[in-house]
Amino acid sequence: MNSPSPSSVVILRFSLGLVLGVLIVSSVLTGCDRSNSVATDPRGTKALSLLNVSYDPTRELYAEVNRQFSAHWRATTGQEVSIRMSHGGSGKQARAVIDGLEADVVTLALAYDIDSIALHSGLIAPDWQHRFPHNSAPYTSTIVFLVRKGNPKGIKDWGDLVKPDVAVITPNPKSSGGARWNYLAAWGYVLKRELGDLKKLREPKPAEDVANAQLKARQFLTELFRRVPVLDSGARGATMTFVQRGIGDVLLSWENEAFLAVHELGKDQIEIIVPSISILAEPSVAVVDTVVDRRGTRQVAEAYLQYLYSPAGQAAAAQHFYRPRDASAVPVELLRRFPKLELFTVDEAFGGWQKAQREHFDDGGVFDAISKPRLSEP
Amino acid sequence: MLIGGGVPSALTGFSASSAVTAERPVVRWALIGVAIVFLGLFLVIPLIAVFLQAFEKGIAAYFRALLDPDTQSAVRLTLLVAAVAVPLNTVFGVVAAWAITKFEFAGKNALITLIDLPFSISPVVAGLVFVFLFGRQGWLGPWLEAHGVRVIFAVPGMVLATVFVTFPFVARELIPLMKAQGTEEEEAARLLGASGWQTFWRVTLPNIKWGLLYGIVLCNGRAMGEFGAVSVVSGHVRGQTNTIPLHVEILYNEYNVAAAFAVASLLATLALATLALKSLLEWKVARQLAETDAKP
Amino acid sequence: MRLALKRHGVLPGFGLTLGLTLSYLSVVVLLPLTALLLKAARADLGQLWGAVSDPRVVASYRLSFGASLAGALVNAVFGLVVAWVLVRYTFPGKRLLDALVDLPFAMPTAVSGITLTTLYAPNGWIGKWFANAGIPVAYTPLGVTVALIFTGLPFVVRTVQPAIADLEAEVEEAAASLGASRWQTFWRVILPSILPALLTGFALAFARGLGEYGSVVFISGNMPMKTEIAPLLIVTKLEQYDMVGACAIALVMLGVSFLFLLAINGLQWWSRRYAMS
């Protein structure tokens, strides 16, 4: 006969310990939780909190802006405000807000993502882009190249990306906002090269030229994506692949991301190449109307976004490698870091984000079509 | 007589000395070699890599990363989530295993398959179903919003997703074990006049304790390490809805590789500590058993 | 040997335990899954079919299934060796290795993914050797398989270990005394009795591999038609606000893994009966 007593004593002690542990831990934690929620309770007269839902590369920028704005708000109103951050891929973040993440403000990579929140949930008024100056985009950026130190493949401009032995790293345009800017920048470069002036896109006359240019652009992008060995889902992942894993000869990247990568990951490994022409990337901001009205935070939320346009906000943006809209109050040595290049907008080259998204990135769009020929390859 | 299934190897009657049931030394060492190389490639080297990268910037940086307030709050949230999910699924596992292995009924195979299901469901889908259920545009979303209850992108949602993902672990561990053990010991206890509880407590529990403990260890490991499902329902609010795995991702994305691996090493250490505890318990029980056997 | 004696009525708690099991199962698993089905039911059938039959989606199923199968097979073979070695032999460092088998459970999948990518990338410790031999690992289907071997390994080892420990010495001794070689004993006596456990482990590793996301996305390279796994496509669809598409792919994966698990459970039942008769 088995004699279970000694082992069941052990198991009994163990389960007793487990239960006790669970009790202690959970009571301690709920205690912590409660104190937390009191501190951030929006109904409290003194303590205000905002949730800023943003995309990946803005972490450093908003860490700084939040610190400054809290001090600014305390000085002007006497109220404490704590700003909480959520970062992730731009599309994923927009999706989270649509599904109920209680963001007071959104600061995303593309106007398209904020449009989507307005369209799919009605949490943001459709005219959000007119609420703040410059299409509600307080800072801009562009797309540049990162290459290995010394530029061994001699990459100078977009045309060099399709040289036979070049491997290009970009994230997936389906999932990454930055990658969509990359793609559109390359497309716009070909249009400009073929047409000489993007204004011709609007003119009805040389319709054949335009069609031809669009075809050339499509061929260029097909060639370009043939040279992409890894498609990460987000901009940061792509930077890691290029720098840490040593894959690829050139990384297409946000300008601010590229500066940061050189700064954080080593000047001795990589360098920035600025192409002749690129796209004007306008990361957009908006107040989430329904949420701020419910939580009573509209005033502070609007002041927060407005602060981005103030001299201090613009300087902070420049400090973190975003191009300021209003350079007047920004120290010259910060401005000097931004190279001059020709920039075109999404509206000029593609007739707005909605159209660009539908034609190029939605399922069955151009990007799907150009990534398909891979089927026939071995 | 041996106690059932998940017996530690030290307790089995086997020893390599029994000539007829042992392999030739060449074969034995070849097999050991294969196992070591395989585990080395897939487990040991990755583990070493985690710790090497964690200490890349030195010990001070390592502890700075662990003492960071955001890390602390991630640790607290992870413990909270596990503290709810693990006991729930442990009770369920024992109950389900009892029903399935001690009785015959129609549809048993289907039931077992349903229990296994969360396991083969992609974590991403696991998170997604809760969005469909509790999201603003989900089934219960509007009602919840009207009543000011937040489930998704808050702690309750993360707990639910974790419960879902770790659902089968304990049950899955116990079912084969209890099936192998059959029911005659329990039946004997009942015939000798033990009550249902006594039978479970005195006969079943000692027989399944290793399987149970192991199931709890697995469930706990997965609960603390779950990434995909929790990531979908978390909202990633720094210092509030980040668990350890999510915090690791954040640090990694901030180019802070050393800190990311430092925090990751917490979970690896925790796993090693739990497993050390498990070995210790095994050894202790083995000794106690030996002592009891020695007495008449 | 034990008798397969099952009698109703002697053991208590049938109603209670089965009732609890069913209700908990319903609340935690079935209710959320119903939400998924409802979402799909509201969509138009053509749209659903369009989403699941898109060549890019089909290619991702192929990769997900192929890599999971390959990973589970590798684990079945090497996991068996590992389990055997850990149960039957003694050697220095055995305890440590035994404990380490659980590592893939405890590591957050994202950490495993990042670590494996670091190691198996062309400039990584292990990837270097493979790259020199002309076999790239990271960012190829092989890399996906490597990640799935990592996540699936404990399932096989931990299911097979108790089965090996439970083998009765007398049976092997009897086989040996009847003149069977060690290999014959293994093939004819040992393997059949641990086969159900091995199959279970294989099925679990396979099923886990199908849905695996965190550890795979980093090492896979995510190239459409080539190294894009099905769960990644679900995420991508979601980020494009294509709930129906995400739902459709999720349903296909769910259905297939359900059928697969059902088949394996049936198979186990059958082999148990077979072994008893």
The DSSP element (H or E) to which A286 belongs, if any, is: strand A284-287
Residues of chain C contacting B42 with CB distance shorter than 8 Å: 146, 149-150, 153
A275 and A164, same domain (yes or no): yes
Closest-approach residue (CA) in chain B for A23: B83
Length of chain C: 277
8 Å CB contact of C239 and A98: no
Chain A residues in contact with B138 by the CB 8 A cut-off are 99
For residues A224 and A258, state if they share a domain: yes
Q: Measured between beta carbons, which residues in chain C are less than 8 angstroms from residue B248?
A: 108, 110-111
User: Inter-chain contact A4–B202, Cβ cutoff 8 Å?
Assistant: yes
Q: What's residue A128's pLDDT?
A: 95
- Per-window interface: A 85-114 vs C, CB < 8 A: 89, 91-92, 95, 98
Lowest mean pLDDT among A8-22, A255-269, C101-115, C187-201: A8-22
> Which residues in chain B have their CB less than 8 angstroms from residue C229's CB?
none
Task: Inspect the interface and report whether the beta carbons of B153 and A99 lie closer than 8 Å.
Answer: yes
Query: Binning pLDDT at 50, 70 and 90, where does residue A371 land?
Result: confident
The residues in A 204-263 lying below 8 A from C, measured between CB atoms, are 228-233, 237, 244-247
Dump pLDDT digits (tens) for A124-182: 999 999 999 999 999 999 999 999 999 999 999 999 999 999 999 999 898 888 999 99
Question: Which pLDDT score is estimated for A233?
Answer: 80
Quick check: B182 and C4 CB within 8 A?
yes
Residue-wise pLDDT for B97-146, tens only, equals: 999 998 888 888 889 888 888 877 888 888 888 888 888 888 888 888 88
* CATH number reported for the structural domain that contains residue C236 in this entry: 1.10.3720.10
Total domain count, chain C: 1
Q: The domain spanning residue B268 has which CATH number?
A: 1.10.3720.10
Nearest CA in chain C to B210: C162
State the residue range of the domain holding C214: 45-276
pLDDT at C276: 61
C139 vs A174: CB contact, 8 Å cut-off? no
Interface of B with A in 17-56 (CB under 8 A): none
Is residue A262 in some structural domain? Answer: yes
Instruction: Give residue A12's pLDDT.
Output: 45
- Report the DSSP pairing between strands A284-287 and A105-108: antiparallel
Do A131 and A238 have their domain in common? no
Domain identity same for A191 and A93: no
- Which chain A positions have a beta carbon within 8 Å of B203's beta carbon? 4
Residues of chain B found within 8 Å of residue C39, distances taken between Cβ atoms: 132
Residue C219 lies in a domain: yes
Q: What is the ipTM of this complex?
A: 0.82
CB B62 within 8 A of CB C136: no
Which of B80, B201, B254 minimises the CB distance to A26?
B80
Instruction: Reply yes or no on whether the pLDDT at A300 is more than 50.
Output: yes
CB–CB contact B103 C18 (8 Å)? yes
Asked if C105 and C154 count as a contact pair (C-beta separation under 8 A), the reply is: yes
Q: Tell me, yes or no, whether B41 and B107 share the same domain.
A: no
Do B208 and B73 reside in the same domain of the chain?
A: yes
CA nearest neighbour of C234 among C100, C56, C68, C86: C56
Q: Is residue C164 part of a domain?
A: yes
When divided into structural domains, chain B yields a total of: 2
CA–CA distance, C178 with A329 (Å, rounded to integer)? 95
C chain contacts of residue B170, beta-carbon cutoff 8 Å:
none
Report yes or no: A376 at the B interface, CB cutoff 8 Å.
Answer: no
pLDDT at A216: 94
A133 and A250 in a single domain? The answer is: no
Decide if C109 and B23 are in contact by the 8 Å CB cutoff.
Answer: no
Q: Is B182 on the interface with A (CB under 8 A)?
A: no
Mutate to test the interface with C, among A116, A221, A247, A269 (most CBs of C within 10 A): A247
Mark whether A256 and A177 lie in a shared domain.
Answer: yes
Q: Is residue B11 in some structural domain?
A: no
Report the chain A residue with the minimal C-alpha distance to residue C118: A245
Average pLDDT over residues A26-42: 40
User: Where is mean pLDDT largest: A201-205, B161-165, B282-286, C172-176?
Assistant: B161-165
Q: Are residues B45 and B135 in the same domain?
A: no
Q: What is the 3-state secondary structure (H, E, C) of chain B?
A: CCCCCCCCHHHCCCCCCCHHHCCCHHHHHHHHHHHHHHHHHHHHHHHHHHHHHHCCCCHHHHHHHHHCHHHHHHHHHHHHHHHHHHHHHHHHHHHHHHHHHHCCCCCHHHHHHHHHHHHHCCHHHHHHHHHHHHCCCCCCHHHHHHCCCCCCCCHHHHHHHHHHHHCCHHHHHHHHHHHHHCCHHHHHHHHCCCCHHHHHHHHHHHHHHHHHHHHHHHHHHHHHHCCHHHHHHHCCECCCCCCHHHHHHHHHHCCCHHHHHHHHHHHHHHHHHHHHHHHHHHHHHHHHHHHHHHCC
How many Cβ contacts (< 8 angstroms) between chains A and B?
Answer: 118
In chain C, residues with a C-beta closer than 8 Å to the C-beta of A374 are 223-226
pLDDT at B7: 38
| Domain match, B37 and B86 both | no
Q: Give a yes or no: residue B1 inside a domain.
A: no
What's the rounded Cα separation, in Å, for the pair C21 and C12?
15
Distance of residue C106 Cα from the nearest chain B Cα, in angstroms? 4
C120, C128, C239: best mutation site toward chain A, by most A Cβ within 10 Å? C239
Residues of B in contact with C103 (CB under 8 A): 43, 46-47, 268, 271
Would you call B142 exposed, middle or buried from its count of C-beta atoms within 10 A (0-12, 13-18, 19+)? exposed
B211 touches chain A (CB under 8 A): no
Task: Answer yes or no: is C39 within a domain.
Answer: no
User: What per-residue confidence (pLDDT) applies to A6?
Assistant: 45
* Bridge partners, A141 (sequence order): A281
- Over residues A267-294, the mean pLDDT reads 93
Domain that holds residue B25: 21-54
- Predicted confidence at residue A184, as pLDDT, reads 96
Tell me whether residues B214 and C213 touch, CB distance under 8 A: no
Q: How confident is the model at residue B97, as a pLDDT?
A: 93
Q: Measuring CA to CA, which residue among A138, A120, A114 is closest to residue A288?
A: A114
Q: What is the pLDDT of residue B285?
A: 64
Cβ-based contacts of B249 with chain C (< 8 Å): 110
Q: Closest partner residue to A29 among B76, B236, B237, by Cβ?
A: B76
Q: Flag whether residue B236 sits within 8 Å of chain A, measured between CB atoms.
A: yes
Are residues A195 and A287 located together in one domain of the fold? no
Residues A185, A272, single domain; the answer is: yes
DSSP state of A52: E
Q: Cβ of C122 and A245 within 8 Å?
A: yes
Number of domain units in chain A? 2
Q: What is the pLDDT along chain C (277 residues), one digit of tens a residue?
A: 343 444 456 788 888 889 899 999 988 888 888 888 888 888 888 888 888 888 888 999 999 999 999 999 999 999 999 999 999 888 888 888 887 887 887 777 888 888 998 899 888 889 899 989 988 888 899 999 999 999 999 889 988 988 898 888 888 888 888 888 888 888 888 888 888 889 888 988 988 888 888 889 888 888 878 888 988 888 888 877 788 888 888 888 888 877 877 777 777 777 667 666 5
Instruction: Give the one of C17, C101, C166 whose C-beta lies nearest to B99's C-beta.
Output: C17
CATH number at A96 reads: 3.40.190.10
Look at residue C103 and tell me if it is in a domain: yes
Residues A136 and A149 in one domain: no
Query: Do the domain assignments include residue B7?
Result: no
What is the overall mean pLDDT for chain A?
Answer: 85
CA gap B205, B199 in Å, rounded: 9
State whether B114 and C88 contact (CB < 8 Å).
Answer: no
In a domain, A240, yes or no: yes
pLDDT in tens, A215-231: 999 999 999 999 998 88
Residue A77 belongs to domain spanning:
47-140+283-335
How far does the CA of residue C225 sit from the closest CA of chain A (Å)? 7
Residues comprising chain A, all counted: 378
Question: Nearest C-alpha of chain C: how many angstroms from A162?
Answer: 18
CA B127, B132, B135, B141 torsion: positive or negative?
A: negative
CB contact under 8 A, B167 and C230: no
User: B293 falls in which pLDDT band (50, 70, 90)?
Assistant: low
* Between residues C3 and A283, the one the model is more confident about: A283
The residue in chain C having the minimum alpha-carbon distance to the alpha carbon of residue A94 is C239
Is A264 at the interface with chain B, CB within 8 A? yes
- Residue B27 counted as domain residue: yes
C91 neighbourhood in chain B, CB within 8 Å: 32
A56 chain-B contacts, CB cut-off 8 A? 253
- Residues in chain C with CB shorter than 8 Å from the CB of A246 are 121-123
A274 and A372 in one domain? Answer: yes
Please check whether residue C14 lies inside any domain of the structure.
no
B132 and B220 part of one domain:
yes
Tell me the pLDDT band of A308, cut-offs 50, 70 and 90: very high
Q: Do A356 and A220 lie in a common domain?
A: yes
Q: Which of A190-204, B80-94, B256-270, C255-269: highest mean pLDDT?
A: B80-94
Q: C touches which chains (3+ CB pairs under 8 A)?
A: A, B
Please indicate, yes or no, whether residues A63 and A131 belong to a single structural domain of this protein: yes
Q: Inter-chain contact C153–B43, Cβ cutoff 8 Å?
A: yes
Write out chain C residues lying below 8 Å of A375, CB-based.
55, 59, 225
CB distance A6–B285 less than 8 Å? Answer: yes
A112's CB contacts (< 8 A; 6+ apart) are: A353, A354, A356, A357
| Shared-domain flag, residues B212 and B238 | yes
B30-71 confidence digits (pLDDT tens): 999 999 999 998 888 998 999 998 998 889 999 999 999 999
Cα distance from A196 to chain C (closest Cα, Å)? 33
> Are C43 and B132 contacting, i.e. CB atoms less than 8 angstroms apart?
no
